[in-house]
Structure 1
Amino acid sequence: MYNPPAFREDRPEILREIMRAARLALVVSAAPDGGIPEATHLPLVLAEDEGPHGTLYGHVAKANPQWRGLAAAGAARAIFAGPEAYVSPSLYPSKQEHGRVVPTWNYVAVHALGPIEVVEDATRLHAIVSRLTDLHEAPRAERWAVTDAPEDFIASQLKGIVGIVLRIETLIGKRKLSQNRAAQDREAVQAGLAASEDARDKDVAAAME
Structure 2
Amino acid sequence: MLIHPWDAPQDEHEWRTWLTAHDFGQLAVNGASGEPPWVQPVHFRYEPEPGPHGQVIAHLARPNPLWRDLERNPAVLLSVVDDYVFVPGHWTAPEGAPSEHGTPTSYYAAVQLRCTAHVVDDPEEKATLLNRQVAHFQPEGGTAQVRPGEPPFGRMLPGLRVLRLQVDDVRAKFKYAGNKAPEIQARVAARLAERDGPSDRAARAHQLRRRTGTA
TM-score, with length taken from structure 1: 0.91
Give the letter for the 1:136 counterpart. Answer: F
Taking a change above 3 Å as real, the CA distance of residues 174 and 132 of structure 1, as seen in their structure-2 partners, is same
Deviation of 1:183 after TM superposition, in Å, equals 1.3
Deviation of 1:23 after TM superposition, in Å, equals 2.8
Instruction: Give the alignment of 1:53-132 within 5 angstroms.
Output: 53-94=53-94, 97-98=97-98, 99-132=100-133
Taking a change above 3 Å as real, the CA distance of residues 148 and 64 of structure 1, as seen in their structure-2 partners, is closer
Percent identity over paired residues: 21
Q: Distance in 1 between matches of 2:147 and 2:202?
A: 36
Deviation of 1:173 after TM superposition, in Å, equals 0.6
Q: Distance in 1 between matches of 2:68 and 2:193?
A: 45
SS across alignment from 1:94:
coil
SS across alignment from 1:205:
helix
Residue 180 of structure 1 aligns with which residue?
179
CA displacement, residues 157-201 of structure 1 (integer Å, 9 cap, x when unaligned): 111111111111101110000112211111111111122231411
**Contact 1:194–1:206 (8 Å) recurs in 2:** no
Q: Distance in 2 between matches of 1:38 and 1:80?
A: 16
**Contact 1:119–1:162 (8 Å) recurs in 2:** yes
Q: Distance in 2 between matches of 1:206 and 1:157?
A: 42
Q: Which sits farther off after the overlay, 148-157 or 28-37?
A: 148-157
Structure 1 unaligned blocks of 5 or more = none
Q: Distance in 1 between matches of 2:8 and 2:124?
A: 40
**Contact 2:91–2:188 (8 Å) recurs in 1:** yes
Q: Distance in 1 between matches of 2:36 and 2:146?
A: 39
SS across alignment from 1:195:
helix
Deviation of 1:115 after TM superposition, in Å, equals 1.1
TM-score, with length taken from structure 2: 0.88
Deviation of 1:123 after TM superposition, in Å, equals 1.1
Give the letter for the 1:196 counterpart. Answer: R
SS across alignment from 1:70:
helix
Q: Distance in 1 between matches of 2:190 and 2:89?
A: 14
Deviation of 1:102 after TM superposition, in Å, equals 1.9
RMSD: 2.1
